[in-house]
Amino acid sequence: MANQSESTAFLRRALWIMFALSLIGVAFAGTLTFREFQGTAASCPAVGTPGTIFGYPACVYGLAFYIALALISGFALLRTREMATRRTSDVAPAS
């Protein structure tokens, strides 16, 4: 039982790290994407020019992938919390 608890704790720590890094990525890629579409970006190529992917700068795809990673890790954190609370409620109190 302790081994399962330790592995769940390790999984939750890894998910929290992944969630935090993905939020940093969302902020960074979101800033670049916002600046790109406002026309003030110096680092991303303009929409439709060479250096884009399917007509959009790479920062747009980075934003989409970081959002997806944040959602996946966030839902996984919620799921592991539900599993942990269910497991602790299954343990009968000592009388």
Alpha helices in 1-95 (DSSP H): 2-38, 58-90
pLDDT at residue 20 is higher than 90? yes
Q: Is the pLDDT of residue 2 over 60?
A: no
Give the C-alpha distances (Å, rounded to integers) separating 35 from 44, 45, 61.
9, 11, 14
d(CA 2, CA 42): 53
Report whether pLDDT(95) > 60: no
| pLDDT, tens digit, 9 for 90 and up, residues 28-81 | 999 988 888 887 766 666 666 666 788 888 889 999 999 999 999 999 998 887
